[in-house]
Amino acid sequence: MEWIKVIQPWFMAGGTVMYVLCVCSLVVVFLGCERYLVFARLDSGHMFAVRFYHAMMRRQYEEAVEMARETRGALARMIMVAAQMETVAQRQAYIELETGRVLTLLQERLYYISLIVTAAPLLGLLGTIHGMMYSFQLLSTGGEHALVVTGGVSEALVATSFGIIIALVAMVMHTYFRQRHDRIIGDIELCFSAWEWYQKEG
């Protein structure tokens, strides 16, 4: 509990905006955990996509479908369902609809992480401005209050520092999930492009 005693003065020095920033940090943690679980559930893995692609290029259709049967994730499930459809038109319609659904699931809530990346530093800056205004107000009164102005300005920067830290964490998180989102969509396109080639050549 000693760390609470150390942090508390700094937290209080940041002013009221620190409570809002604290909520933002909790939201970032929640969204990070929630998005990680969703991506883990939907991702079939890049290695699976590469292996499926090469199997289709070698015209090993049965082996490719069996590979999908043994793999988890949205892409593998899409391949299994599409393989059971009778016509090419049915398969293409299903692939388009399911890809759109997966895309929606992957993009869900990423906007909120992006919003916190922008909002957290601005909230921190707002806290700093409020603290500096209070310090200069003390300075204008003169006397013993002027002695605490330097310390007040220094402490007021705590809010900005905290806001920037939250924004950096959220930015790294957003970049990671965005890159993974793009890779999953790329894997889907790779596999079904190979499947389309197999159908045309077959």
Q: Is the pLDDT of residue 1 over 70?
A: no
CA distance 103 to 201: 29
Q: Where are the alpha helices (DSSP H) in 58-148?
A: 61-69, 74-83, 88-107, 110-141
Provide mean pLDDT across the span 116-140.
81
Q: Is the pLDDT of residue 158 over 60?
A: yes
CA distance 189 to 185: 6
3-state secondary structure of 44: coil
The answer to whether the pTM exceeds 0.75 is yes
Q: Is the pLDDT of residue 26 over 80?
A: yes
**Residue 12, C-beta contacts closer than 8 angstroms, at least 6 positions apart:** 18
Q: Where are the alpha helices (DSSP H) in 14-45?
A: 17-42
**Residue that has been written with the tokens 């906007």 in this structure:** 111
Q: Is the pLDDT of residue 163 over 90?
A: yes
What's residue 106's pLDDT?
95
3-state secondary structure of 86: coil
Pick the more confident residue, 145 or 123: 123
Q: Is the pLDDT of residue 75 over 60?
A: yes
